[in-house]
Structure 1
């Protein structure tokens, strides 16, 4: 199950970075970025090509044999996750102990600055490739 979240995070970062490449951004991903201040519905507001790329994660299960339940959970997670990361909440608390990191602030910065934070907080690929932003540093990005 841990491998699922790691693979999913890497896949999302790769696809999202690709969607910020010139022609794909102009004709496909720009629709999603019309939402400068994201909300839950903007998470799933995507061009059909972007949906195909996003859900292409299922192709991983053709290579790696997994239990059918994990395939169903993949669909559930991939369907709900965009609404969570665009929810307006940094953490979602269930009961007294369970806290789910929504990563909303991280993604809000992406929608505001466009050139940073392509991934999520699970795998630090943005930090590794130099496009991570914390909202405080790098005055040049804050001025954009």
Structure 2
């Protein structure tokens, strides 16, 4: 289990730490691309880091006690056939549906107050917010890996899929967009998960598709594009979030 935990830490560090360092070095140049101009308090960042380590520990639990015996018995396909490619597409679709389903369920008042509220302490998301979960939410989030009992994966394929789940939250929590937010209207499609952190009852999906959030659009939970999203500070966002609940 320790080996798996260290592997997960290294995978997280390989993407998140360079991103954090890049943002810190170029913070002045990137300021106009930052969705919320306020900085996340240092004490909250420390909490997020501790929760991230806990989430990666939970992932090691899945690896060692539940999944590893099954995965190691599956050989790596010699050739990536068209059928195998469809398996990868299925995993992509499964991840999107799994995240939407568990995320929306965690917004039920009972589960939100006991579990998911921890993640929503990060009103102004930053890279450390991505895996900042309550332990039970971490267990549920990485339960997407149980798909290996339906779709056998080789150790290499499983590791790639697992690391994908570790890296996926970064995009939605990075806190920056690709255009100057000081000069343009903030469009919901540009940073859907940021909208979720301040509006609460919209944009539950993982946003893995380039044209927006498929499940949110299909089930009517996407934030309407004709409603403006203000460039809010932490205090105003917190007030708005509390009202929505």
TM-score by shorter chain over 0.5: yes
- Contact 1:38–1:87, Cα closer than 8 Å, also in 2: yes
C-alpha distance in 1 between matches for 2:96 and 2:156: 20
Gaps of 5+ in 1: 92-102
1:106 maps to: 192
CA drift of 1:72 comes to: 0.4
- 2:166 corresponds to which of 53, 57, 79: 79
Structure 1 or 2, whichever has the larger Rg, is 2
Distance 1:25 1:104 in 2: 26
Match of 1:132 among 195, 206, 222: 222
Q: Where do 1:40-55 residues align within 5 Å?
A: 40-55=127-142
Structure 1 moving runs of 4+ over 4 Å: none
Distance 1:67 1:104, change over 3 A: farther
1:35 corresponding residue in structure 2:
122
The answer for unaligned runs of 5 or more in structure 2 is: 1-87, 179-188, 230-239
**Take 1:131 and 1:62, find their aligned partners in 2: how far apart are those partners?**
31
Q: Is the 1:85–1:104 Cα contact (8 Å) retained in structure 2?
A: no
The structure with more helix, counted as a fraction of residues: 2
Structure number with the bigger relative contact order (C-alpha 8 A, sep ≥ 6) is 2
The number of aligned residues is: 131
Aligned to 1:88, the other structure's residue is in SS state coil
Deviations 1:56-87 (Å, cap 9, x if unpaired)? 01111111122322210111111111122201
Q: CA deviation at 1:138?
A: 8.2
Q: Which moved more, 1:80-89 or 1:32-41?
A: 80-89
Q: 2:8 is matched with which residue?
A: none
TM superposition score normalised by structure 1: 0.81
Q: TM-score, normalised by structure 2?
A: 0.49
* Structure 1 residues 62 and 104, CA gap change in structure 2 (3 angstroms): farther
Distance (whole Å) between structure 1 residues aligned to residue 144 and residue 177 of structure 2: 25
Q: Given that residues 196 and 204 in structure 2 are in contact (C-alpha distance below 8 angstroms), is that contact kept between their aligned partners in structure 1? A: yes
What CA RMSD, in Å, does the superposition of the two structures yield over aligned residues? 2.4
1:65 is paired with a residue whose SS is coil
